[in-house]
Chain A
Amino acid sequence: MKALVSVKRVVDYNVRVQVKSDGSGVITEGVKHSMNPFDEIAMEEAVRLKEKGKLTEIVAITIGGAKNEETLRSALAFGADRAIHIKEEGDVQPLTAARAFAAALKKEGAQVFFAGKQAIDDDANQTGQMVAALLDIAQATFASKVELDGGKAVVTREVDAGLETLEVDLPAVITTDLRLNEPRYLKLPDIMKAKKKPIETVTFADLGVEKGAALTISKTSAPPKRSKGIMVKTVDELVSALKSKGLV
């Protein structure tokens, strides 16, 4: 059984994101980028399933410019067998990305599409669901436990009320949440080996994908600062203030 895992190159989670003064975006030049942490969890899960014999092949896939090859190399070091690089320099929003991934999923005949539940740059939380919608296949988002069995997957999902379990027929989309696993350290020998694994480069045209509708970003601004509130003098005052706001 083959799995396709989408991995996105994003500004590293340790980097303090700075909004440009002219409102044209955030500073991404010269700052560290790495694989979206939720995608690392997706990669880790796929690798564990392969180690358990539930998957036979893992194909990592990304969309973006030349630098995204680094991200694919990381995926290969995690344990992907090969990688597909959809080369596109411009802005790609979730609907377009989903169209490309859906086309690739079909072409590859993969049974599972793993993705992080969201990317930590645009925080959209859409692409996985859209892939499933476009192919009219099942989705299990925000997974905290995944079991693959024959043509089915049993997935535990983190929902607001607790943990929900779904059974889905394959092929299916599974998006991964924080508690699913702890991604392994990439080991140097694996990184060395990853340099030799194959990366196939394709374009939207090769996949027969047209760019979809897109949002226009007119301005980027820093979040408003929290302002100083009220100083209370006693615990009683605090309790009544909290009660009046319905907080206790």
Chain B
Amino acid sequence: MSKILVIGEISDGKLNSGTAKVVAAAAQIKGDITVALFGADVSAAAADAAKLDGVTKVLKIESAANANPLAAVYAPQIVELAAGYSHVLFPGTAFGKDTAPRVAARLGVQQVSDIMVAHSPTSFDRPTYAGNAIVTVEAPAAPAIVATVRLASFTAVGSSANAAIESASSSAALPSHTRFVKLEAQKSERPDLQAAARVVSGGRALGSSDAFKIIYSLADKMGAAVGASRAAVDSGYVPNDMQVGQTGKIIAPELYVAAGISGAIQHLAGIKDARTIVAINKDAEAPIFEVADFGLVADLFTAVPELEGKL
């Protein structure tokens, strides 16, 4: 049976929501699941991790050196900890992507990036070419499989368990070549289009630059970034850098709201990884409805303000 080590991620002292999705991937592999948490004091996060369904053990690796998530510092400790595990899984976040290869290289293992599906303990689907081609890969089982998990492909496990929490320490030599200076939250008023969890986009149906106000207003209410279709950009309603689609930005938010966007293929190519798509369009035949999770045939000039009011 597989013995799976999940490297948890902590944000603001709490367990990052991605960890529950990595546990879901571990559950798909099937095996004994341990979550390891690194930090100066991870007790709060450990308590959350212990509740995740399927987790049998939570390991706390606490030290002053672990206060900030430095790949160069965590990696030697993870390598040491990995002995005896068949799999080491990381979240497909900036933290996981930074750290996992450092562990894999030290173990002499070719990493699997962005697992979407685990067919077996050694066979996985992963995206290539920006998600335009999915490859099924077979990874050598020995010495271990190191992988990152594509969070958008998994649904978080529940939290009704009660796993044991243990402390572990590491004797690995830690480098001094990397020093944390600071972490600044993004200052911009609106989230960045490419990084945002929620995006509201407007299309040519808005008819003018001025009319885009209702899109901005809804976005602000939702804490969302604002995007636009190429038609809206070409019509000069909004600047180029707001264009979502194949020749503009490719985004993968949790929630995408398309208002007055017909859904030309260029646009759809840019949002195919969005978790949930909401489409509001007057034209019931608009192609956007073919891919939308929720579709509303309505005039956006009434529906968008109404939606804003009711959120």
Interface presence of A202 (CB below 8 A): no
Interface presence of B98 (CB below 8 A): yes
Quick check: A217 and B137 within 8 Å, CB to CB?
yes
Give chain B nearest CB distance to A243 CB in angstroms. Answer: 9
Quick check: A231 and B183 within 8 Å, CB to CB?
no
Interface presence of A51 (CB below 8 A): no
Quick check: A219 and B136 within 8 Å, CB to CB?
yes
Interface presence of A66 (CB below 8 A): no
Interface presence of A215 (CB below 8 A): yes
Interface presence of A172 (CB below 8 A): yes
Give chain A nearest CB distance to B302 CB in angstroms. Answer: 9
Question: What is the bound-complex CA distance between A164 and B98, given in angstroms?
Answer: 13
Cβ 8 A contact of A139, one of B98, B129, B138 = B98
Which residues, 121 to 175 on B, are CB-close (under 8 Å) to A? 123, 127-140, 175
Quick check: B108 and A95 within 8 Å, CB to CB?
yes
Quick check: B70 and A235 within 8 Å, CB to CB?
no
Q: Which label, helix, strand, loop or mixed, suits the secondary structure of the A interface?
A: mixed
Quick check: B110 and A214 within 8 Å, CB to CB?
yes
Cβ 8 A contact of B295, one of A26, A126, A232 = A232
Quick check: B127 and A223 within 8 Å, CB to CB?
yes
Interface bin, chain B: 35 or more
Quick check: B296 and A213 within 8 Å, CB to CB?
no
Question: What is the bound-complex CA distance between A162 and B278, given in angstroms?
Answer: 27
Question: What is the bound-complex CA distance between A139 and B132, given in angstroms?
Answer: 30
Which residues, 282 to 311 on B, are CB-close (under 8 Å) to A? 289-298, 303, 306-307, 310-311
Interface presence of A186 (CB below 8 A): no
22 residue pairs of the A-B complex, CB under 8 angstroms, read A16-B132, A17-B132, A93-B110, A121-B128, A129-B71, A130-B102, A133-B104, A161-B183, A164-B184, A165-B180, A165-B184, A166-B179, A167-B178, A178-B194, A213-B109, A215-B110, A220-B136, A221-B135, A223-B131, A231-B294, A235-B303, A242-B278
Query: How many contacts between A and B, using CB within 8 angstroms?
Result: 233
State whether A215 and B298 are in contact (beta carbons under 8 Å apart), knowing that A133-B105, A226-B272 are contacts in the complex: no
Quick check: A168 and B94 within 8 Å, CB to CB?
no
Quick check: B177 and A172 within 8 Å, CB to CB?
yes
Tell me the count of chain A residues lying within 8 A, CB to CB, of chain B.
80
Quick check: B105 and A17 within 8 Å, CB to CB?
no
List the A residue with the shortest CB-CB distance to B268.
A226
Cβ 8 A contact of A228, one of B134, B291, B303 = B291
Question: What is the bound-complex CA distance between A160 and B17, given in angstroms?
Answer: 12
Which residues, 246 to 296 on B, are CB-close (under 8 Å) to A? 247, 254-255, 272, 276-278, 289-296
State whether A94 and B307 are in contact (beta carbons under 8 Å apart), knowing that A133-B75, A162-B183 are contacts in the complex: no
Cβ 8 A contact of A220, one of B11, B93, B134 = B134
Question: What is the bound-complex CA distance between A11 and B129, given in angstroms?
Answer: 9
**Chain B 179-204, CB within 8 Å of chain A: the 1/0 string?**
11111111000000011000000000
